A and B are shown apart, each in its own frame.
Chain A
Amino acid sequence: MKIPYPVFLKRHEDTPKWLPVVTSVAAVLLAFIISGIILAATGANPFKVYSYFFKASFGSWGAFSDVIVKATPLLLIGLGCALAFKMRLWNIGAEGQFFVGAFMASAVVMVPLVNLDTTPRWAIISLMMVLGMAGGALYGLIPGILKAKLNINEVIITLMLNYIAVLWNNYWIFGAWSEAGFQMTKTFPRSAWLPRLADYAAKVPAFSGMTAHAGIFFGIIAAIIIYQIIYRSKWGYKITLIGDNPKAARYAGIDITRNTILVFMVSGALAGLAGMTEVSGVVHRLQERISTSYGFSGVIVAWLAKLNPFAVIVVSILFGALLVASREIQPSGISFLIQGITLFLVISSDVLLKYEIKWVRPTQETAQ
């Protein structure tokens, strides 16, 4: 590959292990610098903005708790995307799977599937988790089957299914489950709430007002499991092999149809679980705006993390911080600007992983 004077790219013979980390961190820093320049151009003091930014997200335990709340769905969705992307399955449908998971979890309360007064809290929450994951998995099954059996482009299907899921939820919250005509369900009873830090404020006064909920533990456990799957398990080996060369995988006797469907279902289940944690842990009802594009941000998170489950934890916290900060600073678009620039730079920085940039000096010539 060659680009015109004065630089050219030379393919790396070996990509050092530390390089992806360095380029990602550098991309994030550069994003802040570029955004800073834009901020300065609009007349703001970028250092002040960033320090406020930092305070808004990490300045206190309360703020950090908010960051965790935002990071939880991003983490779960990012993990699901990372697994699918590892197999080069472009699941862009996490948003829809998230909504269906939220819907299924809400159904436990709204139908209701169990007696909410007598059933113990752990049983209700477990059931919501199972149904939320099942909902996401089933919603992942649709593109999974279409992709595996008919080789239909999964990007298009998953993208379209997102709209269907949102509208399906709207049907319920506008209609049958609507509370007094508002576009939301009634508030869930306490027995359907995920435990929050604030619940323990009586024992630990510092937790007062903190909304971080147990969902983050699901996320961390999921990260450990997904890591084990990708890097330690036979299934992960198969996924990686299919991702790198499906023909070789088939030749090696691996059932691609089955694994496509399975990966789609697991990916969907994680997004569904994220939907469940959001209704059960944060808003405590099903409503229209339960997602600030978590499903799409999750795609970005997975990509920034280079599909490494532990890196997904870090990146989702960073993105959670950006979301929290966007509430605090005006215009709120700034954090989305940083998000966009970060993604742009990280994706561009991929070129550095493959190629080394050589600066071209004028040809040295010495006459003899």
Chain B
Amino acid sequence: MTFTETPNAVPAVEMQEITLRFPGVLANDRVNFTIYPGEIHALLGENGAGKSTLMNTLIGLYKPQSGEIRIHGKNVSFNSPKDAIAHGIGMVHQHFMLVENQTVTENILIGLDTPRFTLNLKKYDQEISELAEQYGIHIDPTAKIWQLSVGEQQRVEILKILYRGADILIMDEPTAVLAPQEADELIATLKGMAAQGKAIAFISHKLAEVKQVADKLTVLRRGRATAERVDLHDFTLESLASLMVGREVIFNLHKCEQDPGREVLRLEDVSALNNKNLSALRNIDLSLHEGEILGIAGIAGNGQSELVEVITGLRECTGKIWLDGKNIANKPPGFSISQGLAHIPEDRIGVGSAPNLSLTSNIIMKRYDQEPISQKWQLDYLAANALADSLKEEYDIQAPSVQTQARKLSGGNLQKLILARELSSTPHLIVAMQPTRGLDIGAIEGVRQLLLRQRELGTSILLVSEDLDELLALSDRIAVMYEGRLVGLLCSDQFDITNIGLMMTGTLPQDLHPDQETTRDLGAVYKEETFGERSSSSAPSSFDEVLDHVRDYDASEEPLTGGLPPSAEEGEEPSDDSPSADVPEEQDPYAGISEKERILRKILGEKFEKRGEE
């Protein structure tokens, strides 16, 4: 091992040669992980690399098949998280475990042996206030959980652990659910806690964030450590990325020039209602050609889901939808499938797969009725398994066998399964909604390349995404949706992230006059600073932009609040010249700015702030 020992200190956590095997998967293969008190140690890796498994082993949810765990120099063997907390180890999970209707204090006290019978809330409120103050955490102990923002709820979870006397904290992708301001605040809090001697393990797959927060770094790839306890400043972001995914990530997607062919899909005056019977789509007209990717941009909830649903037959509508000359509006989903429509749904688990059925059953979902799988009334399971096996190979779906239940696949592999099913049917039209959301860099790249390959094959693709960079990189044209309308349609030579951002917030293209000071100013900053290169190549070229991908996919998992977009908002400066600790915590930097500007900032993230600083 090539790490620098902190002299005269006993490591808070020392995990040695941890090996953990699940059926068919080696989740951790002789991994070492050591944290000293006062240190933030990041654990970096793709989805399914074994980060969470390693930490779940540390808190006693799993037992390693081999390897040793020492806490403050003592050998331990935990059987449950209860044992772990008794040794001062606590974990903040991605999904909070809080009771909505109870106060902060009540939530913190849940499950403790004291108070035993009567509850003097005031006394404990006071205790918790003091504890929070000690670590610079801002929280009102008397507030009810439902009144709190996600970031505040996370603070409650941290306090819960601190109150139980933990000096070793494990944070499982803590910024995934946070807005940028909250993330900054969290990082400042973590640094403060480390300064007071806590040992912190920080699980993440965001390079920039790790670079900002951590002292030491361990990188996992497919269960093995590719870097163990290394110093962060020895690495560039590129080298970290390649440690994580195991090869040089191709950040430039190759998109060949090609002329679109005949029209494949045409929507004429399509309107639809949403689940609450409110107008969700208003008089949509659009057309899509062979070999063309039409991107649909928009803040979540502006009708994108409904648009996808009316095209795929899952929602009723008025108007006409022509697919290869046939009107598929209000036809059952089976009809459009038979017409060569493939659908990569937004909700992979809830819509795109049957979680308790095998890979095979999931693969044949749309072709169980076609030969050779269909044999009169029977289903030929041998043929089905053969098909599943070949697709598993072709799309590199990692699973023990095709009999494995779909729910056991990681997010990326499940998406590969869905792509394998949808793309292998040689569709004419692919409707893809958020195809890369929640995936790690390697998987994102794979999905994007698959889509581009389909484009080269002449397939039409309707790509709905909240990730502007993805749309800019892949689309031939981008249509912007706002409140159920298409408010703008841009060809690739007109792509301009500022204009798209403005349209997403309801500014119509004709309103984008050059005499609007803010707008022009903002646009100028954009072109010069960050997107100069893109406008010529239309593919992300600088590493900065790549980082946006890294941030985006996680940010988009957060529940939407106030209709704000989850894209590009995790924007911390990757460079060291903007330490987050100096962000004043009491002050709301968004105070006093208009709603529209606020939303813009949300969309544009750090780029907007950069302008503000100048």
A residues whose Cβ falls under 8 Å from a Cβ of B: 2, 5, 8, 13-14, 232-238, 240-241, 244-245, 247-255, 358, 360-361, 363-368
Cβ proximity bits B186-217 to A, threshold 8 Å, 1 near / 0 not: 00000000000000000000000000000000
> Does B378 contact A234, Cβ atoms closer than 8 Å?
yes
Once A244-B357, A253-B332 are accepted as A-B contacts, the answer to whether A365 and B23 lie under 8 Å apart by CB is no
The smallest C-beta distance from B201 to any residue of chain A, in angstroms, reads 21
> Does B379 contact A245, Cβ atoms closer than 8 Å?
no
The smallest C-beta distance from B414 to any residue of chain A, in angstroms, reads 12
Chain A residue nearest in CB terms to B78: A363
> Does B345 contact A251, Cβ atoms closer than 8 Å?
yes
> Does A360 contact B379, Cβ atoms closer than 8 Å?
no
> Does B377 contact A361, Cβ atoms closer than 8 Å?
no
Q: A14-B23, A244-B354 are in contact. List 19 more A-B contacts (CB 8 A).
A: A2-B80, A5-B82, A8-B79, A232-B378, A233-B378, A233-B379, A234-B377, A235-B377, A236-B379, A237-B364, A238-B368, A244-B357, A247-B351, A248-B351, A248-B353, A248-B365, A251-B314, A251-B333, A364-B77
The DSSP consensus for interface residues of chain B is mixed
- With most chain B CB atoms within 10 A of its CB, the pick from A238, A244, A254 is A244
> Does A234 contact B374, Cβ atoms closer than 8 Å?
yes
Cβ proximity bits B376-414 to A, threshold 8 Å, 1 near / 0 not: 011101000000000000000000000000001000000
> Does B366 contact A252, Cβ atoms closer than 8 Å?
yes
Cβ proximity bits B72-87 to A, threshold 8 Å, 1 near / 0 not: 0111111111110010
Chain A residue nearest in CB terms to B357: A244
B residues whose Cβ falls under 8 Å from a Cβ of A: 22-23, 70, 73-83, 86, 312, 314, 332-335, 337-338, 343, 345, 347, 350-357, 361, 364-366, 368-369, 374, 377-379, 381, 408
CB < 8 Å: which of A237, A244, A250, A251 contacts B368?
A237
Chain B residue nearest in CB terms to A238: B368
Chain A residue nearest in CB terms to B403: A14
CB < 8 Å: which of B75, B354, B374 contacts A365?
B75
- Set of chain A residues within 8 Å of B81, measured between Cβ atoms: 2
The DSSP consensus for interface residues of chain A is mixed
The smallest C-beta distance from A15 to any residue of chain B, in angstroms, reads 9
> Does A363 contact B76, Cβ atoms closer than 8 Å?
yes
Once A233-B377, A234-B369, A237-B379 are accepted as A-B contacts, the answer to whether A255 and B334 lie under 8 Å apart by CB is yes
Chain A residue nearest in CB terms to B364: A237
- Set of chain A residues within 8 Å of B377, measured between Cβ atoms: 233-235
> Does A252 contact B333, Cβ atoms closer than 8 Å?
yes
> Does A247 contact B80, Cβ atoms closer than 8 Å?
no
CB < 8 Å: which of A236, A237, A361, A368 contacts B74?
A368
> Does A250 contact B350, Cβ atoms closer than 8 Å?
no
- Set of chain B residues within 8 Å of A13, measured between Cβ atoms: 22-23, 408
CB < 8 Å: which of B79, B83, B352, B374 contacts A358?
B79
- Set of chain B residues within 8 Å of A253, measured between Cβ atoms: 332-335, 337-338, 366
Chain B residue nearest in CB terms to A358: B79
Chain A residue nearest in CB terms to B341: A253
> Does A368 contact B75, Cβ atoms closer than 8 Å?
yes
CB < 8 Å: which of A241, A255, A363, A367 contacts B361?
A241
A366 CA to B81 CA, complexed, in Å: 19
Kindly list the 10 A-B residue pairs having the minimum CB-CB distance in the complex, ordered from nearest: A253-B334, A244-B354, A252-B365, A245-B354, A253-B333, A253-B337, A360-B79, A364-B77, A14-B23, A366-B75
A254 CA to B345 CA, complexed, in Å: 16
The smallest C-beta distance from B421 to any residue of chain A, in angstroms, reads 9
A251 CA to B343 CA, complexed, in Å: 9
- Set of chain A residues within 8 Å of B357, measured between Cβ atoms: 240-241, 244
